[in-house]
Chain A
Amino acid sequence: MIRIFTLLLCTTLLLTACSEDKDDNLVVKSEATASFNFTHNWNGTAVTNNNFNSIQYTNENGEMLSVERLRYIISDITFSRDGEDDIVMDIYNLVDVTNNANTTLSLEQKIPTGTYTNVSFTFGLDNEDNAENYLDLNTQNFNVPQMLGGGYHYMQFDGKFINSSETEQGFNYHAIRAVDNPGMNPTFPQDTFFQVNLGEITITDNATLEVKMNIAEWFKSPNLWDLNLLNQMLMPNSSAQIMMKENGASVFSLGAISQ
């Protein structure tokens, strides 16, 4: 009798030890969704398309300006972890502030929860991606002519500024792959896509990461931008393209994370 009772007790203990604990609500997710919310500001003041077409911003060089069109590509979102391979998402997204389109990007692929030493993306398209044929970007007229190297704009940022003659003048701050010798055999002095690092992020649940673009930074440092000198026809100007890339380093930052 004692032997039977002991056997039953042990079996019960074994079974209950292995069963799922339903007594508490602790559910640790192993995977989560990730979304990016692209917001825009001028030195901290929010900018949306509602603020377009009005000369109301002053850049670091003292020129007053408006935004009339702003759209740019981000691509290759990467999640980096210690001791693990990077999770690289070979995607691109055309953020169109003018039409308030694609300002939120929800990744189709879930990512493991945990701490990432860095989350990054490419501003523009790397050279391999830039050589692809994207029907949606063609449809959006985002191409760069072949004689300028082909591929796509990284950014179209158009507006007007008050020039030194106190006259409104257009500017086209268009970022592309820097190119020299436009024509049949263009050359490329330096890559001008760049990686944006958002830093360490811990993902515990479905997360939305705010990516902030401070538009003013495009004009600030390390190259103080003088719109009276650099306003239009900047695509074939490789020096201007390299300056844009350098200034772009401080344009993006991580904002709020909700999860």
Chain B
Amino acid sequence: MKNWFICLLLVISVSACSKDDTPETEAYEPTPLPLNIPKIFLDNIIAPVIPNSNPQTVEGVALGKKLFFDKKLSGDQTIACATCHSPQLAFTDNTPTSIGVAGDFGTRNSMPLFNLAWNFDERFAWDGKELSLERQALEPVQNPIEMHSNWQEVVSRLQSDEDYPELFRLAFNTSTITKELATKAIAQFERTLISADSKFDKYSLGEASLTSQELNGLDVFLREDKGDCFHCHGTPTNPLWTDNIFHNNGLDSSFTDLGLGAVTGDTNDNGKFRSPSLRNLVYTAPYMHDGRFATLDEVIEFYSTGLKQSSTIDPLMKNITNGGVQLSTSDKADLKAFLITLSDPSFTTNPDFLE
């Protein structure tokens, strides 16, 4: 009897220490959310850039969207990223340069935001100073003219919010908020901002036709002896409509804003700015890095008759002594008609991108 009791104790003690046979609860992982790559991109250009250190997830994108529209990121909590990057305006604003929390204007036009994951060199902003989307998102918050806040304050504000700690836990497996995680989330949201449903996209896919004026405008765009726009903005086989490279396009004969030159320190880069995409021009006026042109007509007139010589002007710019490519009145109108076909109304009304 005594031996039986000892045996029972042994069995109990061993089973108490043994591994639980029931399955362990799996560790939480955010839900992967691959980018929805449009067919016209799949057919024509290489895969987008998604950093291994910041994979797209459902929860990360949702958090990034909330942060993007949240005024808590600014010093006096009056503006959000979306204030200067409005979805209805293809994520830019409609002033030459943008107004900050104190009512001051910056020096650069707010860049529209779309198809950012296809900026393969990952040099963002007009002058290429931001070397990733994640790093770019750090800057406006602490820029004294823009959101005029600091990340320590912003993180503290988010940490004491009743929702954000849980949203960060869902997105990144930690409720301890950092500026790095906040900008990762914003970058994830920004990478989802894909625009590829313009009239011209439909035309390329055989789903729409262009008018004769629009087709002639395309011809002007592509002809080296007319507009020669394609060397910097691409052909229909590159649906980004930009090379994302830095050029001096002849805006000024001397530079008050050095652009890329101020970033690299190389005088050969003075006056160079990143080619913007020609998508969504209907929504993104005014134009150029300083928003100097209010209308597309002004832009086309500039390339036709307004070029200015300087030491770093791109050799692709033509007929500079006569001011440019000297388009006829009808070619200018046709070129404008074609450019408008690159705008994508569904992008500005996409509920996934609206607050």
Contacts and interface: CB of A to CB of B under 8 A. Distances in A.
B224 A136 contact: no
Interface stretch (B2-10, B129-137, B296-304, B316-324): B316-324
A172 B232 CA distance: 13
Main secondary structure of the interface of B (DSSP, over half): loop
B46 A236 contact: no
Most buried by B among A141, A147, A172, A234: A141
A248 interface: no
B45 interface: yes
A245 interface: no
Contact of B44 (A138, A160, A236): A138
A235 interface: yes
A133 interface: yes
Contacts of A141: 230-232, 234-235, 238, 243
A138 B238 contact: yes
Contact of A139 (B238, B312, B320): B238
A68 B242 CA distance: 19
Interface in A122-149: 133, 135-136, 138-139, 141, 143-148
B318 A170 contact: yes
Contacts of B235: 141, 143-146
Given A133-B237, A138-B237, A233-B224, A170 B230 contact: no
A170 B313 contact: yes
B120 interface: yes
**6 interchain residue pairs of minimum CB distance:** A170-B315, A145-B222, A53-B268, A158-B315, A143-B235, A139-B45
Interface of B: 43-46, 120, 219, 222-225, 228, 230-232, 234-238, 243, 268, 309, 311-318, 320-321
Interface of A: 52-53, 68-69, 133, 135-136, 138-139, 141, 143-148, 158-160, 167-172, 182, 232-236
16 contacts: A53-B268, A133-B43, A138-B44, A138-B45, A139-B238, A145-B235, A147-B223, A158-B315, A170-B313, A170-B316, A172-B315, A232-B318, A233-B225, A233-B318, A236-B223, A236-B224
Given A159-B315, A168-B309, 10 more contacts: A68-B315, A138-B44, A139-B238, A141-B231, A141-B235, A143-B230, A145-B230, A147-B219, A172-B224, A233-B318
